[in-house]
Amino acid sequence: MNKVLSLVLLIVLASCSILKNDGIKENNEYTTDSGLKYTIYKHNSNSLKVDSGDMVSVHYIGSLEDSTIFDSSYDRNQPITFKVGTGRVIKGWDEGLTYLYKGDSAVLVIPSDIAYGARSMGKIPANANLRFIVKIVDVQKPIKPWNVEGKKRIYLEDSLSYVIVEKGEGNGVENGDKISMQYSGYFTDFKKFDSSYDRDNSFDVIIGRHRVIKGWDKGILGMKLGEKRRLYIPYQLAYGEKGHSPIPAKADLIFDVELVKLQKVDYPIFDVLGKDTVVMDNGVKYIIAKKTDGKQVMPHDVVSIEYIGKLTNNEVFDASFDRGDSLTFEVSANKVIKGLDSGMLEMKIGEEYRFIIPYELAYGEEGREPVIPAKSTLIFDVRLCSKEDANISE
């Protein structure tokens, strides 16, 4: 390993050329006020410069003054990724990387007081000066508010409004669509409180399921793939009177949102046309869409079901198919609403039932806002996937 380090250092000293734009010379050693020394042996001054707050990916080899290597990202075949200037790394790195550009390779010689100081860290002894060979693999600038100057603001009901920053293509988002979004959230002074861009990770949600604030559920409707939109959301359609940390009470919000994926969700169709409706003693109704000769469900059996839950206007409020998973619970143990619990005792493995459940055996007088309105009769299309007999689960 020491031979590898020596070879790399020889490469560092191999040439000396003056770079354009910023005047930095390759293979010249520079010393900063903190005592940090850096030498850039491959320079890309026309690329993105690293600044505090940037998300960077860096490959590195770390060694002591005697050339003993104590760590290397190349051994893991994975660069380290972090936000510069946030204390995620030693001070010498937070400073030293800000002299570099994307694609640069350099040597940082870091005095102990901006490394680990008097602490010993594994193979690194106390008061050790450190040397790092680094390569800036990637630089991602923090997202900034989009420029909407001169663009038309479109007003919807309840003081919700939006601006189309960039147009998309294809079909618009509808309730029930599964979407992937990138977003940045700002207060009205454009102080950012959250951003998926900073995490380099999109946000997935099914629209119209009340899984996001009302301003999103309403403001994203009609967006097309690739579209960028700014949403202006009044607090009543955001986090309301009380707020939700870090959102203060009665906070109007601004979101810059980008639609990166749109998927129309298709649910299984239960064939109930022309089939008899059975009314149970407790008022639950059911229609058998598919019959089998499977085992009958008994009290305290553990069942796994796939389901679609709908209001009487056919609006889907929940579905196991959204999650690609089944729901498992013990029957007759108050694990689900009463109407569904009692209805399960009618089913056999492999069967498909449509249950119509009166509000008294669902979520009652009050409902469960904002998902289930008060006094809501519910419809469940249920497929019984499997069951474990009560005596097996005990």
Instruction: Residue 145: count other Cβ atoms within 10 Å of its Cβ.
Output: 12
Question: Hey, what amino acid is at 7?
Answer: L
Q: What pLDDT, on the 0 to 100 scale, is given for residue 391?
A: 67
Q: Give alpha helix (H) positions in 148-297.
A: 196-199, 214-219
DSSP result, 66-126: T--EEEEHHHHT--EEEETTSSSS-HHHHHHGGG-BTT-EEEEEE-GGGTTTT--BTTBPT
Q: What pLDDT, on the 0 to 100 scale, is given for residue 22?
A: 63
Please check whether residue 360 is in contact with residue 377, taking contact to mean a CB–CB distance below 8 angstroms: no
Strand partners for 300: none
Q: What pLDDT, on the 0 to 100 scale, is given for residue 142?
A: 84
Please check whether residue 181 is in contact with residue 129, taking contact to mean a CB–CB distance below 8 angstroms: no
Whose structure tokens read 């119209």?
208
Q: Which two tokens stand for residue 388?
A: 């474990």
**What single DSSP character describes residue 359?**
G
Q: What pLDDT, on the 0 to 100 scale, is given for residue 264?
A: 87
Gyration radius from the chain CA atoms: 30
Structural domains present in the chain: 2-140 (3.10.50.40), 153-263 (3.10.50.40), 277-393 (3.10.50.40)
Active-site residues, by number, are: 183, 193-194, 213, 239, 255
Strand partners for 383: 306, 352
How many Å apart are CA 284 and CA 355, to the nearest integer? 7
Please name which of 319, 285, 284, 291 lies closest in space to residue 305, comparing C-alpha atoms. 319
Q: Give alpha helix (H) positions in the chain.
A: 2-12, 73-76, 91-96, 196-199, 214-219, 320-323, 338-344, 390-393
Q: What pLDDT, on the 0 to 100 scale, is given for residue 394?
A: 44
pLDDT tens per residue across all 394 residues of the chain: 444 444 344 333 333 333 445 677 889 999 999 999 999 999 988 899 999 989 899 999 999 999 999 999 999 999 999 999 999 999 999 999 999 999 999 999 999 999 999 999 999 999 999 999 999 999 988 888 999 999 999 999 999 999 999 999 999 999 989 999 999 999 999 999 999 987 778 999 999 888 899 999 999 999 999 999 999 999 999 999 999 999 999 999 999 999 999 998 888 999 999 999 999 999 999 999 999 999 999 999 999 999 999 999 999 999 998 888 899 999 999 999 999 999 999 999 999 999 999 999 999 999 998 899 999 999 999 999 999 998 654 4
Please check whether residue 133 is in contact with residue 8, taking contact to mean a CB–CB distance below 8 angstroms: yes
**What single DSSP character describes residue 11?**
H
Q: What pLDDT, on the 0 to 100 scale, is given for residue 197?
A: 86
Q: What pLDDT, on the 0 to 100 scale, is given for residue 25?
A: 85
How many Å apart are CA 380 and CA 356, to the nearest integer? 7
